């Protein structure tokens, strides 16, 4: 019940295309859903996050869509750029429990 399932494992997108990564969870106590971006040799960095009181959050080219009833959330990267090539992790946390539960990651490659 503590797992966060992420798909796909890898994704290849052409420059200018839309990248979509999906995550699902079981634990209804989760109330914070961040996405982290990790470049090779670097630690994860927070990209964007959402709380379950909203269904969508947009920051620039990055959008999180959240479906509370389905217990699913997704990351959409619009106008994907080669610089977006990285591994993306969804995660979840519960207020009062100060730790992140990460998905297994999606390796995104954007080709020019």
Residue 7 is a binding residue for another protein (CB under 8 A): no
Give the residue with the Cβ less far from another protein, 17 or 71: 71
Among 12, 18, 28, 45, binds another protein (CB under 8 A): 45
Q: How many helices (H) and strands (E) does the chain have?
A: 0, 11
Residue 60 is a binding residue for another protein (CB under 8 A): no
Residue 54 is a binding residue for another protein (CB under 8 A): no
Q: How far apart are CA 49 and CA 34, in angstroms?
A: 4
Q: How far apart are CA 26 and CA 62, in angstroms?
A: 24
Residue 24 is a binding residue for another protein (CB under 8 A): no
List binders of another protein among 78-107 (CB under 8 A): 89, 91, 93, 95-105
Residue 34 is a binding residue for another protein (CB under 8 A): yes
Cis before 8? omega within 30: yes
Query: What single string gives the DSSP state of each residue in 6-28?
Result: EE-SEEEEETTS-EEEEEEE--T
Give the residue with the Cβ less far from another protein, 17 or 107: 107
Q: Which residue has the tokens 């979840």?
A: 92
Interaction site with another protein (CB under 8 A): 4, 6, 32, 34, 41-46, 49, 89, 91, 93, 95-105
């Amino acid at each position: 019940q503590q797992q966060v399932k992420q798909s796909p494992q890898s994704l290849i997108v052409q420059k200018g295309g839309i990248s979509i990564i999906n995550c699902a969870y079981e634990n209804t106590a989760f109330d914070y859903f961040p996405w982290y971006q990790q470049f090779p040799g670097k630690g994860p960095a927070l990209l964007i996050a959402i709380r379950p009181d909203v269904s969508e959050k947009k920051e620039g080219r990055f959008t999180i869509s959240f479906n509370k009833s389905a217990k699913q959330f997704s990351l959409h990267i619009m106008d994907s750029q080669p610089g977006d090539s990285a591994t993306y992790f969804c995660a979840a946390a519960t207020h009062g429990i100060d730790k992140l539960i990460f998905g297994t990651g999606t390796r995104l490659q954007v080709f020019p």
